[in-house]
Amino acid sequence: MKEELLHFIWNYKLLKPQELFSVNGVPIRIIHPGDLNKDAGPDFFNSKIEIDGVKLVGNIEIHVNSSDWIKHGHENDKAYNNLILHAVYNHDKTIHQNTKHNVEVVELKNYLDKDILKKYNSLVTSEYTLPCSKQIKNVNSLKLQSWIQRMLIERLETKTDYAKQLFEVSKNDFTQTLYFLLARNFGFKINGEPFELLAKHLPIHILLKHSANLFQLEALLYGVAGFLSKPYKNKYLQQLQNEFEFLKNKYKLVELDISLWKMLRLMPANFPTVRIWQFAMLIHKCPELLSSPEKFNTVETLSKAITFKHEGYWRDHYLFDGKEINNVKAIGKNSIQNILTNTFAPFLFFYGKKTGNDKLINAATQCFQDLPFESNHKTRHFIKAGLKFETSAESQGLINLFDNYCKNKLCLQCGVASNLLISN
């Protein structure tokens, strides 16, 4: 028996529908179980019960064994002097503090519904990665969607934690914060860190100052990234080197070590050289995306801003002084969805929360509603369970649900599993 399960049963009034008696034979009636307390202090606040016909309002403590009172150190805590009830699964010890303050003790093991215990055990002992995979189809669709929406917001809140850190690093500059986030996303998983380092070594205000000149943007980004430190035969690359040398001295820039960039086993379109050019093109084509991100609050406007064709040297190259290849692919739909999902929508949510702008918060969640469902190894567990989804809002919610609840079998904290336990 786990104390968490007793909390759940008490909170949802899932005891057998019969009259309760304390260990002293005193009748007890639960009027309101109270508010579950997840911080220090008694487990339930503001509970309302009736003991031997007398109505009481106050705090209730719940334990698996009465002796847990001693294990948890409550005997020296005055916060436990004013309980109205001590509920335990097994009454194995008389507690002096309860006796002194006339607190009744109720032993719950004979009042527990065996069907609920059976359902709970089937979840926590399930051999499946998704514990409720065999029962989840039975959950009310409205309640399921409501919980997934809550999971989306929870995921967005988690994503904004990193944005908050970057916001502090950038001295409360929204443009610089978005720039850091966007740079990391352009590196995707394999080159995310060096891309973020590039952004931290090359302030956005310098790039925006040169946004009208794509060549200068290329020189700045490739130069600070460390790609212009070698001798090249190509005239365009030599011109980039000369331009960067001038800009480097002007702004006192420091180059990264080129060894930071990972290139092994990458497709040409994913090479950091290609991604850096795309980043330069984004700033050139749409500098307002960084300076006034609130104007780009729909999937349509965001997608348009980061959709463009390759041109110049990088139309048919993916390496410096490398062999020519057929047209290098532009940013694909999946990459665009990834950038919108992992950077722009979370940033709009953060921006809206920080400035109290509900329109931006709603725009962020709407972006997820307008993007297609993402099928990956996490969301496929729910598809295999027989559920159907359509939007990125659902896939993002399911990812959070899987990572923070299903994987750790925290079923009692999950709205989906709770619904299965509560329903008949």
Query: DSSP secondary structure string, 281-297?
Result: HHHHH-THHHH-GGG--
Backbone angles phi, psi at 159, to 5 degrees: -65, -35
For CA atoms 193, 197, 200, 203, give the dihedral sign. negative
**In angstroms, rounded to a whole number, what is the distance separating the alpha carbons of residues 89 and 1?**
8
pTM for this predicted structure: 0.83
Classify 122 as helix, strand or coil.
Answer: helix
What is the full per-residue pLDDT of the chain (424 aa) written as tens digits? 899 999 999 999 999 988 999 999 999 999 999 999 988 899 999 999 999 999 999 999 999 999 999 999 998 888 888 899 999 999 999 998 888 888 999 999 999 999 999 999 999 999 899 999 999 998 989 999 999 999 999 999 998 999 999 999 999 999 999 999 999 999 988 999 999 999 999 999 999 999 999 999 999 999 999 999 999 989 999 999 999 999 999 999 999 999 999 988 888 788 999 999 999 999 999 999 999 999 988 999 999 988 888 888 888 888 887 777 776 677 888 888 989 999 999 999 999 999 999 999 999 999 999 999 999 999 999 999 999 999 999 999 999 999 999 999 999 999 999 999 987 6
Q: Looking at the chain, how many residues does it have?
A: 424
Do the Cβ atoms of 105 and 91 come closer than 8 Å?
yes
What are the extents of the domains in the chain?
3-112, 114-169+372-424, 173-345
**In angstroms, rounded to a whole number, what is the distance separating the alpha carbons of residues 104 and 86?**
6
Pair type for strands 44-51 and 54-65:
antiparallel
Chain centroid to CA 151: 8
